[in-house]
Structure 1
Amino acid sequence: MQGLAEKAAAFLPSVLGALVVLVVGLWIAGRIKKISANAMKRTGRIDETLAGFLSSLIHYGLIALVLITTLGVFGVPTTSFAAIIGAAGLAVGFALQGTLGHVASGVMMLGFRPFDVGDYVEAAGVAGTVKHIGLFTTEMATPDNKKIIVPNGKIFDDIITNYAGYDTRRVDLVFGISYGDDIDKAIALIKSELEKEDRVKVDPAPVIEVDNLGDSSVDIICRPWVDRADYFGVKWALTKAVKQRFDAEGVSIPFPCRSIYMEKDAA
């Protein structure tokens, strides 16, 4: 009993030191997690999801460091232990390289912000309104309200077209008139309908020009600038208004025709 008591007394300082290091280290790790998360959120430039992910990553890294330090204070050799953790981490990394790639892409997307929630984008061969940006996937809704979930790796490795990236957009319209119609009259009619539309911007000024001499029509382009939210409303309204004005003023819009010739059998 005396020998056991002496051995316990010899180990007691190591045990107490290890407990102190463990408790204090875990407390410090928790505090650093909260401080780092709040600091990233206060910047206003880091997404809340990304801030939570990075703070958790820091937290778990500090916990691993505290555990290794605690084992060292307790007297356990930590060199081989660190090597085992490194080998295990490497094995897990190889096993999850595809998933980790999506996570890395998610972190890059949340950091660089090529688009935000609510933007209409085209990426990875699909297009829709962004509903949620996660660490693994991005959720989008198509115009007919279909839910699309795309891995972040495919989005970040592809070309991203953000239709909501700027406050203004240009509406591209083409009106074809017949070769017998008055071009200047048609342009004046289109300009008149543009001036009636309050949503069309004055600066930059709209462009109305003859763009192409087609097989059956003279194509006139109309390119007004509008606010992003008014894009489709202006496009549909102008298309209808110009067509009705052309009809009222006798300007024809040609369409393809096909002639069929029947030959009689000589016999």
Structure 2
Amino acid sequence: MENLEGLEGLDGLIEQAPEFFMTYGLKALAAIVIFIIGKYFAGVAKRLTIKVLNSRKVDATVVSFVANLAWALVFVFTIIATLGQVGVQTASLVAVIGAAGLAVGLALQGSLSNFASGVLMVLFRPCRVGDFIEAAGVAGVVDEITIFSTRLRTGDNKVIIAPNSAIMNGTITNYSALEKRRIDLTIGVSYTADIAVTKKVIADVLDSNQSVLKDPGYTIGLAELADSSINFVVRPWVSTGDYWPTRFELLEQIKNALDAAEIEIPFPQMDLHVKEVPAK
């Protein structure tokens, strides 16, 4: 009798299998399709946002941030629609998320802080994509500002991912914000050198360099009577993009010009006086 009852139960399951697969299989298939299509449209929304904002010549920093935000919003709606298709009550899900919002917020304080800092960076623009900055203990060119982090590229081509909150909560030094920068050089010459001649030699180098700006003018002044040399400060202005190439050029040109004028650039030295000790 038990065997007969088992067979009857198995027959019942076999009979219900088509109905089961028709009901839940189609829902699962529809959920997969919704997820794939939604993920595709998330990418489309991101690319379309970038295209529209670029056509309006919006700043690259804003374009990157808004595009990532658009992708995230579409993807979240896709997840909710997928869960609703498989039978999850989305209204209940939203209620649960709302009830758990405080706990989630406490658990994700860092992420929420990074998101808020990202919004502030887009609104106030302390730096933009392409700027060379020093912040959060690192320095590099800003490649991208995302929802939670900022991507920096260093001079030796390393990638640094810095949290947005670490950047906004600290001091930001933006070397690319203004069109002009001043080069500060210290040139030391021998005490035997003529001050007026030395200043003229340095001035001739600055006047002949095409990258040195005429407005504002440069400064050459005697700054210090040091232990082994008299030190001049040399402060020309250049375009921001020409800062490092011009700095390297000026150091080389000033050294060659001083050598040609037979003006010595001394190295640190010390005079040692040996005092004779009388024999016992």
Q: TM (normalized to structure 2)?
A: 0.68
User: C-alpha deviations, 1:113-138, integer Å up to 9, x for none?
Assistant: 21122221100111112222211111
Contact 1:131 1:140 survives alignment (8 Å): yes
Aligned to 2:119: 107
Aligned to 1:49: 64
Correspondences of 1:141-160 after superposition (within 5 Å): 141-160=153-172
Aligned to 1:231: 243
C-alpha root-mean-square deviation of aligned residues, in Å?
3.3
Which residues of structure 1 form unaligned runs of 5+? 1-29, 64-75
Cα distance, 1:176–1:127 mapped onto 2, change above 3 Å:
same
User: C-alpha deviations, 1:52-74, integer Å up to 9, x for none?
Assistant: 355568779999xxxxxxxxxxx
Query: What SS does structure 2 have at the residue aligned with 1:204?
Result: coil
CA deviation after TM superposition for structure 1 residue 146, in Å: 2.1
User: d(CA) in 1 for partners of 2:260 and 2:214?
Assistant: 26
Within the candidate set 157, 165, 181, 2:177 is matched to 165
User: d(CA) in 1 for partners of 2:214 and 2:67?
Assistant: 45
Letter in structure 2 aligned against 1:266:
A
Cα distance, 1:265–1:87 mapped onto 2, change above 3 Å:
farther
Query: Aligned pairs, how many?
Result: 225
Query: What SS does structure 2 have at the residue aligned with 1:175?
Result: strand
Cα distance, 1:57–1:146 mapped onto 2, change above 3 Å:
closer
Contact 1:50 1:111 survives alignment (8 Å): no
Aligned to 1:212: 224
CA deviation after TM superposition for structure 1 residue 148, in Å: 1.5
1:191 has 2:203 as partner: yes
CA deviation after TM superposition for structure 1 residue 140, in Å: 1.4
Aligned to 1:3: none
User: d(CA) in 1 for partners of 2:100 and 2:75?
Assistant: 16
User: d(CA) in 1 for partners of 2:75 and 2:159?
Assistant: 34
CA deviation after TM superposition for structure 1 residue 43, in Å: 7.8
User: C-alpha deviations, 1:13-72, integer Å up to 9, x for none?
Assistant: xxxxxxxxxxxxxxxxx9xxx8xx69x934825712332355568779999xxxxxxxxx
Contact 1:205 1:224 survives alignment (8 Å): yes
Cα distance, 1:82–1:247 mapped onto 2, change above 3 Å:
closer
CA deviation after TM superposition for structure 1 residue 258, in Å: 3.0
Query: What SS does structure 1 have at the residue aligned with 2:100?
Result: helix
Within the candidate set 147, 153, 162, 1:135 is matched to 147
Letter in structure 2 aligned against 1:230:
D
After TM superposition, the structure 1 stretch with the greater mean CA deviation from structure 2, 48-57 or 177-186, is 48-57
User: d(CA) in 2 for partners of 1:265 and 1:100?
Assistant: 79
Within the candidate set 268, 271, 277, 1:256 is matched to 268
Contact 1:101 1:153 survives alignment (8 Å): yes
Contact 2:183 2:236 survives alignment (8 Å): yes
Within the candidate set 172, 180, 201, 2:213 is matched to 201
Query: What SS does structure 1 have at the residue aligned with 2:181?
Result: strand
User: d(CA) in 2 for partners of 1:244 and 1:179?
Assistant: 19
Which residues of structure 2 form unaligned runs of 5+? 1-40, 79-88
Q: TM (normalized to structure 1)?
A: 0.71
Contact 2:69 2:147 survives alignment (8 Å): no
Aligned to 2:258: 246
User: d(CA) in 1 for partners of 2:71 and 2:211?
Assistant: 47
User: d(CA) in 2 for partners of 1:47 and 1:157?
Assistant: 20
Identity in percent: 40
Letter in structure 2 aligned against 1:149:
I
Cα distance, 1:84–1:180 mapped onto 2, change above 3 Å:
same
